[in-house]
Amino acid sequence: MKKWSIMMIILCIFMLCLMYSDKIVYFLVANVTSAERKNTTLENNQFAGKESYQFVQLTDDFTPSTSQDLINIYYTVLNSGMKEFTFYCPEDYKNCINDVDYLSNNQVLLSHINNFLPVYNSFQNIETEFDSLGKVTISIHYTYQQQEITELEVTVSNIINSTIQDNMTTEDKIKAIHDYIINTTKYDVNRSDNKITTYHSDTAYGALIEHYAICSGYADSMKLFLDYLQIPNYKISSENHIWNLVYLDHTWYHLDLTWDDPVTSTGEDVLEYDYFLINTEELKEIENEQHIFDNTIYQEAI
């Protein structure tokens, strides 16, 4: 009889555990492991930006409540230049882990977030690990290696010193850099048409050091100088093209160096200004296929 009573008690406890498993887990998370649930302390490197935009905002709150909070956390961590960061989903954000799973596997959305980042803190790949207790760890593999950054920093500084003068207007400074990049860079047809990767032409290193670029190389190069000159900007992209968006005189303008450096049948170097600081309406009038962008993401452009 005594054994039977013990078995019944054990069975009741087991059934209660099954019925209230979620609450038990949350209790353990909130109480037993609370000492371990500490977010990583954010540390910005020297390249971290200070700008928030309509689609992404810098944050100091790493306890998310919505999917937008998660986007802001990713943006803030990536902007900082940190290689790894851990935060925790709170108990009252029921869909947090599902939203983390969606965001971490949405390469298109992550690519758009990348366009708002400082060039040297842009990423090549992100790995996200999470568990049922709400722990989320982001590991970032950045596009630019330290040796490339060192070379580019010297190159950018030299170009600024030889090209930019203090008495120039902001527009003149942008034009001078626009012209310099186009005059010293060739569009990498082998990479775009034949997938031959002789140069790092998808980055600023390819454009400014090796002097070959595709659209992402032109855009990264221009952004490096715009950031150096403290001109508000970010990169903007369509499905298969990327260019720059620049804030000048209280207005956002498009700046596309790739299309201002056309490939000619004769191999002649050409410098054009068709895509130099034009508004969105002007952009649509002259080209409406390669420059289709998401209005919900690049809201400044509209």
What pLDDT score does 132 carry? 87
Q: What is the mean pLDDT of the chain?
A: 92
Query: 79-90 burial string, b = 16+ CB within 10 Å, else e?
Result: bbbbeebbbbbb
Q: What is the pLDDT of residue 265?
A: 74
Identity of the residue numbered 245: L
130: left (phi over 0), alpha (psi -120 to 50) or beta: beta
pLDDT tens readout for residues 259-290 = 999 998 777 889 999 999 999 999 999 998 99
Does pLDDT of 54 surpass 70?
A: yes
Most distant CA atoms of the chain, gap in Å: 100
Q: What is the predicted pLDDT for the residue at 32?
A: 43
Distance (Å, whole) CA 30 – CA 243: 46
CA distance 280 to 135: 42
Mean pLDDT throughout 248-258? 98
- Is the per-residue pLDDT at 3 higher than 70? no
Q: Give pLDDT tens digits for 59-118.
A: 999 999 999 999 999 999 999 999 999 999 999 999 999 999 999 999 999 999 999 999
pTM of the model: 0.88
Choose the CATH number for 146-301 among 1.10.3470, 2.120.10, 3.10.620, 2.40.50.
Answer: 3.10.620
> pLDDT tens, 158-209?
999 999 999 999 999 999 999 999 999 999 999 999 999 999 999 999 999 9
**Residue ranges, CATH 3.10.620, the chain:** 146-301
